[in-house]
């Protein structure tokens, strides 16, 4: 499996020395994600080169660099680890606590008045606490990224990352909750036991098929928004990308035949939202017969990967299987989103070379574009449930904001998240009014 590695390489400060290093990297079939000159002194430059590589498969790379007459492999950077050191999040007071009077007001004895007010009228919790700005980010560690069942504790850096993005992009407080429990009954009970602390629940990196049952049961039991991000956040951004691609190729998305390869959490969420959006024909492939049963229950048709590539106008793949799609299967004019990270089912460049009208991978089609605004909008509207209308409003807004050759906008543009938040908030209020 390829993961980010940051190499430290020293080169002699003369023409062509760095180019030789880059050629060695290219000869190993690796793509440079980022390059940065750390320092230059005494005729030598120290470079930080970020790659996605399989260390076992590419072990000879370091020796090849050392064999160059003008370069030397120094080692690996701790940049990623340094950015995680001590954690990525913290809780801070929202008001200055700088006098004894403030202390008495916010804690004892003054806080007792607020406690009694909420006891008498629970709705006051929205006015006098941070509950409308607080989301539980819950995992049981059964499907962390593409790493699999590595445990809740090992997934904590991912949950902290989600919390950091909530804080930075939309000003929400995300609280990581780790559950050492795989049984759906016990997961549901654990979340229900702590839900009063939070305005909404984000389920994260919980394996299929248990994730479907857990989310459905929590939605039934809790009067607050619950969303499994691996399903619905991914589906929203995928729908946004497909709206953009269909518009630019002159296709009617709802009338297209769409193939979904891989029907785990992400794939099932994508199919469900596409059907809700009005897409008439969806083909799906998966090795698990239960996944095909779920597909058919949503109105989709089971098919093989080859049949999907032969019939579908648009293909979305979420299998986690590198190189699953044979380049010879690509038909001219197809739209192909190979979303598995870090290794897609087909390289987008190869798909385009074989005639695809649009092709992208999971680096650009990322659910960070969806979940911050989805939760901020839901909390702002004080809605009790996420609706399809809210998800589709988010997707349509993202498609509208995409610019240039990109299918979706820049995930670090805070204006994007503000626009998604407002679209979701309005959709929630309209849904409530219609009910």
Q: Catalytic positions, please?
A: 107, 162
The residue with tokens 């695809």 is: 356
DSSP one-letter code for 367: G
Rounded to whole angstroms, the Cα distance separating 339 from 346 reads 9
Give yes or no for a contact between 35 and 44, defined as CB atoms under 8 angstroms apart.
no
Question: Which two tokens mark 284?
Answer: 């799906």
* Long-range contacts from 167-170, C-beta under 8 angstroms, 24+ separation: 167/89, 169/368, 169/372, 169/414, 169/417, 170/372, 170/373, 170/375, 170/376, 170/417, 170/418, 170/421
Question: Which two tokens mark 218?
Answer: 């929590």
Pairing of strands 200-203, 134-139: parallel
Give yes or no for a contact between 158 and 222, defined as CB atoms under 8 angstroms apart.
no
Rounded to whole angstroms, the Cα distance separating 214 from 384 reads 17
CA 360 to chain centre: 15
Of 164, 218, 171, 232, the C-alpha closest to 371 is 232
Helices (H) and strands (E) in the chain, counts: 17, 14
Helices marked H in 38-139 — which ranges?
60-66, 79-84, 100-106, 111-120, 125-128
Query: Any bridge partners for residue 8, and if so which?
Result: 48, 75
The residue with tokens 């960070």 is: 368
CB atoms within 10 A of CB 52: 17
């Amino acid at each position: 499996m390829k993961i980010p590695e940051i190499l430290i390489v020293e080169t002699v400060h003369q023409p062509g020395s760095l180019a030789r290093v880059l050629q060695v990297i290219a000869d190993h079939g690796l793509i440079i994600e980022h390059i940065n000159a750390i320092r230059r002194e005494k005729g030598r430059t120290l470079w930080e080169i970020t790659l996605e590589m399989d260390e076992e498969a590419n072990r000879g790379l370091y020796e090849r660099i050392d064999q160059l007459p003008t370069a030397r492999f120094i080692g690996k950077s701790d940049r990623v680890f340094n950015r995680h050191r001590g954690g990525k999040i913290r809780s801070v007071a929202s008001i200055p606590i700088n006098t004894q009077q403030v202390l008495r007001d916010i804690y004892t004895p003054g806080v007792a008045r607020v406690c009694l007010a909420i006891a008498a009228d629970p709705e006051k919790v929205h006015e006098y606490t941070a509950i409308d700005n607080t989301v539980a980010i819950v995992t049981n560690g059964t499907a962390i990224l593409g790493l699999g069942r590595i445990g809740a504790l090992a997934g904590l850096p991912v949950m902290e990352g989600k919390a950091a993005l909530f804080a930075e992009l939309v000003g929400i407080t995300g609280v990581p909750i780790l559950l050492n429990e795989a049984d759906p009954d016990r997961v549901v009970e654990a979340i229900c036991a702590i839900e009063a602390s939070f305005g909404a629940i984000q389920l994260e990196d919980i394996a299929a098929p248990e994730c479907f049952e857990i989310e459905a049961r929590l939605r039934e039991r809790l009067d607050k928004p619950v969303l499994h991000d691996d399903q619905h956040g991914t589906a929203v951004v995928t729908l946004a990308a497909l709206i953009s691609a269909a518009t630019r190729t002159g296709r009617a998305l709802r009338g297209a035949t769409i193939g979904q390869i891989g029907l785990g959490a992400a794939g099932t969420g994508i199919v469900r939202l596409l059907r809700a959006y009005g897409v008439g024909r969806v083909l799906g492939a998966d090795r698990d017969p239960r996944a095909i049963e779920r597909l058919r229950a949503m109105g989709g048709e089971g098919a093989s990967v080859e049949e999907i590539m032969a019939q579908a106008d648009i293909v979305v793949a979420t299998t986690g299987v590198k190189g699953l799609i044979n380049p010879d299967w690509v038909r001219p004019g197809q739209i192909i989103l190979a979303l598995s990270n870090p290794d897609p089912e087909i390289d987008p460049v190869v798909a385009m070379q074989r005639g695809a009208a649009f092709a992208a991978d999971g680096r650009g089609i990322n659910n960070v574009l969806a979940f911050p605004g989805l939760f901020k909008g839901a909390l702002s509207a004080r809605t009790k449930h996420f609706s399809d209308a809210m998800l589709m409003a988010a997707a349509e807004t993202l498609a509208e904001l995409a610019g240039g050759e990109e299918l979706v906008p820049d995930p670090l543009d805070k204006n994007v998240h503000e626009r998604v938040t407002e679209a979701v908030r309005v959709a929630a209020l309209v849904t409530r009014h219609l009910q």
